[in-house]
Structure 1
Amino acid sequence: MIALPASMRVFERGWLSSNNVLLVDDACTALVDTGYATHAPQTVALVRSALKTRPLDLIVNTHLHSDHCGGNALLQATWPCRTLIPASEASAVREWNEARLSFRATGQTCERFGFTGTIAPGAQLRLGALDWQVLGAPGHDPHSLMLYCADERILISADALWENGFGVIFPELEGESGFAEQQAVLDTISTLDVRVVIPGHGAPFTHVEQALERAFSRIAWLRADPARNARNALKVLIVFKLLEVREMSFDALLRMTGEAAAMRAAASLLKPSSEWPALLRGMIEELATHQGPLAVDGARIVARR
């Protein structure tokens, strides 16, 4: 069991939802990241059970991918909580510009939410009676942030560092720089005195040096052949969607690949559109072997989990 301050509680979530970090002190109850939209009722139930009669006062989003902010709307409807988002995303959220936000591009959903303030690298937050420094974490997402508590040596890393890797480098799919930024974020983490990492996905961990070694190795592997990132991205987006809807026809998946910008970009980096049917069939076969996350049932693809 990893020791965390009494004011902190981590809700480790499964597929579709990011982890949620609840921080409570006398002045404020705060939740860092809120999971995916279809899991929002569960997120509310987890928070309500932990807080008892207290309301949720504040939501803090490390970034606005749907699995990190999909519970915002329901939490805001349940409690009159303030919400802090990355400053660079403010205009997109204010306008609810889904072309600039990632939801439409990934074929995912997120109910519209509002915000009351913004945070940016260099900001300081007081959460759970602890002081947190806001750090930039571009790479996986250009707007992503991390939270670092120097006194407790805790890093809330979002998708910048997991125990075994990090999130898909989405900017590279659109021809934007992302590998260099991810490398720089890992370099930054390596300079911090970190005892515990609370990742966006997976259990909190203490073997930080080993996790960094694996992450540095992975970014070098991806940079050596950008198609590796594209292939991983397409697989991740396919599995995510199937786990959300539970089953889908192959034709529907093929249509979604052409319509969702991130999926289209990833597929285009791998094969010309005329070869996408064969590309997708090959990926589905890979994901269905050895009790993988998907199965094929005639003309339909089914999620196993």
Structure 2
Amino acid sequence: MTTEPNLPKSIIWRERPFPNSNFLLLLGEQPSLIDSGFVAHAEHTAYLTREFTTRLSWVANTHWHSDHVGANAILQQAGAQIAGSHSDAESLFRTDPGCCVAEYLDQPVPRYTVDNPVGTGDRILLGDLQWEVLSVPGHTPGHLAFWNAEHRLAAVGDTVTAHDVGWVNVMREGTRALDAALDSLGRLQALDAQLLLPGHGPLVTDPSSAIDNAIGRLERQRTRIDLAVSHGAKRILAFALMIHGGMAASALDDYLTQCEWAQDAAAVVDKTVAEFSRDLVDSMLRGGGLTLRAGTLYAAASSSPVDPEVFDLPFPRAWPQHPGQENRTGDRRHDTKDDTNER
């Protein structure tokens, strides 16, 4: 693994298949990792990091989805500090049930905390370079990007990729989330970056065109909410099938009936969950997003296998509280509609 030729030598980049985010290591005075992949491959992420440095100062998270924070816990235990958005930091401190959207999406996340909350205008030394923090809500409310003006580089997480745009949770947040995502893309476009380092897929070598395409896609979703629901649902379901190693077609309806995201998506488009599930799977099979082999549905995109033991991890509602937490926050805030379900 080497750095890309159009990146500074201190930046180590590897495109990784789902369910991991890309590997982005910044070497120098403060060796730092931007995002840390999925929990099932946390040890491998740590191993990749040790190939280049014996010390990791920071893990800077663009956002708190499971495929971006999965190695946070073991890297934090080994001495790395975690940087993340203020909203994510507060929710994690309170151990809100909605942390990392883990329970909502049925995605395992190991418990971690944010040591250094950051927001727009803050500057942080990652590796040998100064990076400005940008708030780019949309894909998640607390989503961040990191901008290096010297090399005109932006690490953008799931805000935009070379061929896609991050799904927006209109099922929970409505069209205001699409408005926020469009505003974030407009501010990224104004940077006039030479290169974008996305959370998934290849380096974005033509940022202007990629952002224009993403804006167009979100504008269409803004006028047709069903397109926004479909965009998100397809990506959530594909990820679920990746981390579960596929799922029997006969069991999928029952699985989706238990998923809050599917319940919400069906309600937005005025369907039953069964109708929504059938239409979603049919659409993905026709479009090539899913394959059916011997009665089992699989995500078509390449992915790394996942040890099923990761599903033994507790959801955030079961994470132990910090000393003095009750005194600071009083009653715990609950971000999900039903607080009775356990994994």
Decide: shared fold, TM above 0.5: yes
Moved more, 251-260 or 6-15: 251-260
What is the one-letter code of the residue matched to 2:62?
A: T
Pair 1:222 & 2:221 matched: yes
Identity %: 25
What is the one-letter code of the residue matched to 1:69?
A: V
CA–CA distance in structure 1, aligned partners of residues 73 and 251 of structure 2 = 28
The match for 1:60 is: 60
Taking structure 2 as the reference length, the TM-score comes to 0.81
Alignment equivalent of 2:172, drawn from 174, 187, 191: 174
Q: After superposition, give the CA deviation of every residue in 1:21-53 in whole Å (9 maximum; x if it has no partner).
A: 11111x2111010011122122112112222xx
Cα shift at 1:291: 5.5
CA–CA distance in structure 2, aligned partners of residues 58 and 100 of structure 1 = 21
CA–CA distance in structure 2, aligned partners of residues 294 and 9 of structure 1 = 34
CA–CA distance in structure 1, aligned partners of residues 20 and 69 of structure 2 = 9
The match for 1:264 is: 263
The match for 1:34 is: 36
Is the contact made by 2:34 and 2:59 (CA closer than 8 Å) also made in structure 1?
Answer: yes
Pair 1:9 & 2:12 matched: yes
Taking structure 1 as the reference length, the TM-score comes to 0.90
Structure 2 residue runs without a partner (length 5+):
303-343
Q: After superposition, give the CA deviation of every residue in 1:65-84 in whole Å (9 maximum; x if it has no partner).
A: 1111111112223x211111
What is the one-letter code of the residue matched to 1:277?
A: A
Q: Secondary structure at the match of 2:52?
A: helix
CA–CA distance in structure 2, aligned partners of residues 165 and 99 of structure 1 = 26
Equivalent residue pairs, number: 297
CA–CA distance in structure 2, aligned partners of residues 255 and 113 of structure 1 = 31
Cα shift at 1:107: 1.3
Q: After superposition, give the CA deviation of every residue in 1:116-141 in whole Å (9 maximum; x if it has no partner).
A: 22111110011121111100101111
Cα shift at 1:251: 5.5
The match for 1:287 is: 284
CA–CA distance in structure 2, aligned partners of residues 48 and 72 of structure 1 = 15
Structure 1 residue runs without a partner (length 5+):
none
CA–CA distance in structure 2, aligned partners of residues 55 and 206 of structure 1 = 30
Moved more, 264-273 or 146-155: 264-273
Cα shift at 1:5: 0.9
1:41–1:288: structure 2 CA closer, same or farther, 3 Å change rule?
farther
What is the one-letter code of the residue matched to 1:301?
A: L
Is the contact made by 1:257 and 1:267 (CA closer than 8 Å) also made in structure 2?
Answer: no
The match for 1:118 is: 117
What is the one-letter code of the residue matched to 1:124?
A: R
CA–CA distance in structure 1, aligned partners of residues 235 and 99 of structure 2 = 20
